[in-house]
Amino acid sequence: MNRFLTKGRIATLVILGVLLIDQIIKVWIKTHMYWHESIRVTDWFYIFFTENVGMAFGMEIFGKLFLTIFRLVAVSIIGYFLYKCIKYQLKMGFILCVSLILSGALGNIIDSLFYGVLFNESTPSQIASFLPESGGYAPLFYGKVVDMFYFPIIDTYWPQWMPFIGGEHFIFFSPIFNFADAAISCGVIALFLFYNKSFSEAYHLIVKKK
């Protein structure tokens, strides 16, 4: 690692890069597409504009204000954890995974905190505008998270002979998500696949020395 590309600077670049890409995509979708408008890219990949008030992949649990505050607390904890990982010079791959998780969480927090104030409502007949004269669609902390990536890799029906679900519509991987969600998922999956031992190391270095 040379003097310029330190672990801290690489982590910062990853976080800023993910945030920039995530917000560019979301703002473009929000200001160019109607709510629930769909653009077919392939049979198994669509740009489908929707919004959610819940957690990753459109899940809705508890109230909106609670989720926004929960995100802020979680980001603070992850940010502190990342700072300590860099301070104690843990593996670069481990730091990158934590950086992806942090940047993804920050990306969705921006939506929750500010989008209700910055944009008016997206509807099937109205494309939202930035800083509308009439004001935003919700107060601070109550913005909706913009989602757009939809991958119905398998879109079919269950065979009629199957009990209980025969003939019902089946879509493999139906969640609609955004770039921030993808960053979180990639970070978490990589941590579990490649950096299990680093969790133990991080615990001893960070938690016990706290």
| pLDDT at site 168 | 80
Query: How far apart are alpha carbons 210 and 207 in whole angstroms?
Result: 5
Q: Is there a catalytic annotation at residue 181? A: yes
72-82, pLDDT tens digit by residue? 999 999 999 99
Instruction: List Cβ neighbours of 102 (8 Å cut-off, separation of 6 or more).
Output: 15, 75, 78, 79, 82
Query: How far apart are alpha carbons 36 and 142 in whole angstroms?
Result: 20
Pairing of strands 176-177, 145-150: antiparallel
More confident call, 44 vs 203: 44
| pLDDT at site 208 | 60
User: What is the H or E stretch that residue 180 is in?
Assistant: helix 179-194
Query: How far apart are alpha carbons 140 and 111 in whole angstroms?
Result: 10
Pick the range with the lowest mean pLDDT from 46-60, 120-134, 189-203. 46-60
Q: Is there a catalytic annotation at residue 155? A: no
Tokens 């505050």 sit at which residue?
Answer: 69
Give, rounded to a whole angstrom, the gap between the first and last alpha carbons of the chain: 27
Work out the pLDDT band at 45, boundaries 50, 70, 90: very high
Tell me which of 22, 43, 111, 181 is the catalytic residue: 181
Looking at residue 118, its amino acid is: L
Tell me which of 22, 43, 111, 147 is the catalytic residue: 147
Work out the pLDDT band at 204, boundaries 50, 70, 90: confident
Residue 177 has pLDDT above 70, yes or no: yes
User: What is the H or E stretch that residue 147 is in?
Assistant: strand 145-150
Pick the range with the lowest mean pLDDT from 2-6, 42-46, 87-91. 2-6
Q: Could you count the other beta carbons within 10 Å of the beta carbon of residue 111? A: 26
Q: Which of 170, 153, 176 is nearest to 48 (CA)?
A: 176
